[in-house]
């Protein structure tokens, strides 16, 4: 069995090397691969990634244009060899040290999907706007899909590849997060949440989580609910 860790990257020259090293230094209880999808970065990200070309467990895709996180995730999923999938950010907000604990329920056969929640431990350092947006969208998702998530927009979604029809994913931007969550929830998968560590970087809140992204994510939820 193999774990495929998909890392979409856009203009992360400052953090991507550290992120790869942190993931690579984590002790996983199974074989793994890291799939880096450089989503048309315009800084020195491509140059940094060239230094990892010799690593046998790392596969790198370079996109000519920036088409969004969802597009990068879908490209990674298309070539993933693992039976288990994890999506990972490139900016060290999430800790790879949490991954082994997230893997355990799937390896034990007690879950098909594990979400890493940033909020189960209590307060998390985030701006009020970001925290409120997450709360609203998670609450809306729970109402629409009859779930009980505390953090549906978490990047850490660990799942069996068989738990979702990868070819059905359509979103190109950050709306890929609620789309994946919805399609994992619609199927009769055993889904659980576990607490994870989170290191918020304020510079990313504007980059990743604008009001526009929130509105589009809400629209995606509505469309997926109506299409059931």
Q: Flag whether pLDDT at 178 surpasses 90.
A: yes
> Cβ distance 160 to 145 under 8 Å?
no
Q: Is the pLDDT of residue 207 over 80?
A: no
Q: So what's the pLDDT on residue 5?
A: 98
Cβ burial of 76 (10 Å; 0-12, 13-18, 19+) is buried
| Three-point CA angle 111, 112, 113, nearest 5° | 95
Question: What is the rounded CA–CA span in Å between residue 105 and residue 129?
Answer: 33
- What is the average pLDDT across 57-79? 95
18-32 average pLDDT score? 94
**Model confidence pLDDT, tens digit, residues 87-132:** 999 988 899 999 999 999 999 999 999 999 998 876 666 777 888 8
Which residues in the chain belong to E strands, given as ranges?
A: 2-9, 31-39, 58-63, 84-87, 113-117, 157-160, 191-195
With pLDDT > 90 as the criterion, what percentage of the chain qualifies?
77
Q: Write down how long the chain is.
A: 228
Task: Give CA–CA dist 127/133, Å, rounded.
Answer: 10
Judged by DSSP in three states, 96 sits in: helix
For the chain, which residues make up each domain, given as ranges? 2-226
Give the pLDDT mean for 151-156.
Answer: 93
Residue 206: its pLDDT value, please?
Answer: 43
Q: What is the pLDDT of residues 40-53, one digit of tens each?
A: 999 999 999 999 99
pLDDT recorded at residue 202: 59
Tell me what the mean pLDDT of segment 125-154 comes to.
89
Six-digit token pair at 218?
A: 């809400």
Q: Residue 91: what pLDDT?
A: 85
Contacts (Cβ under 8 Å, ≥6 apart) of 199: 92, 93, 94, 95, 125
Taking residues 124-150, report their average pLDDT.
88
pTM of the prediction?
Answer: 0.91
Second CATH level (architecture) for the domain 2-226: Alpha-Beta Complex (3.90)
Average pLDDT over residues 213-221: 92
Measured from the Cβ of residue 84, the count of other Cβ atoms closer than 10 Å reads 24
Q: Return the structure tokens found at 211.
A: 């009001």
Assess contact for 39 and 9: CB atoms under 8 A. Answer: yes
């Amino acid at each position: 069995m193999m774990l495929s860790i998909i890392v979409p990257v856009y203009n992360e020259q400052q953090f991507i090397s550290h992120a790869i090293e942190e993931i690579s230094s984590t002790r996983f209880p199974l074989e793994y691969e890291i799939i880096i999808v450089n989503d048309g970065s315009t800084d020195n990200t491509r140059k940094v990634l060239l230094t990892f070309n010799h690593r046998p467990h790392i596969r790198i895709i370079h996109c000519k244009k920036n088409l969004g996180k969802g597009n990068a995730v879908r490209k990674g999923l298309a070539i993933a060899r693992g039976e288990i999938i994890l999506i990972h950010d490139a900016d060290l907000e999430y800790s790879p040290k949490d991954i082994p604990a997230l893997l355990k329920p799937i390896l034990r056969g007690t879950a098909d999907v594990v979400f890493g929640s940033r909020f189960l431990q209590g307060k998390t350092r985030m701006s009020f706007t970001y925290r409120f947006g997450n709360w609203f969208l998670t609450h809306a998702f729970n109402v629409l899909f009859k779930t009980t998530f505390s953090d549906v927009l978490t990047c850490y979604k660990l799942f069996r590849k068989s738990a979702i029809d990868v070819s059905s994913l359509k979103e190109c931007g950050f709306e890929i997060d609620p789309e994946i969550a919805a399609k994992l929830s619609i199927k009769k998968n055993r889904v659980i949440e576990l607490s994870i560590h989170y290191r918020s970087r304020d510079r990313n809140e504007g980059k990743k989580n604008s009001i526009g992204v929130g509105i589009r994510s809400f629209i995606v939820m509505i469309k997926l609910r109506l299409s059931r």
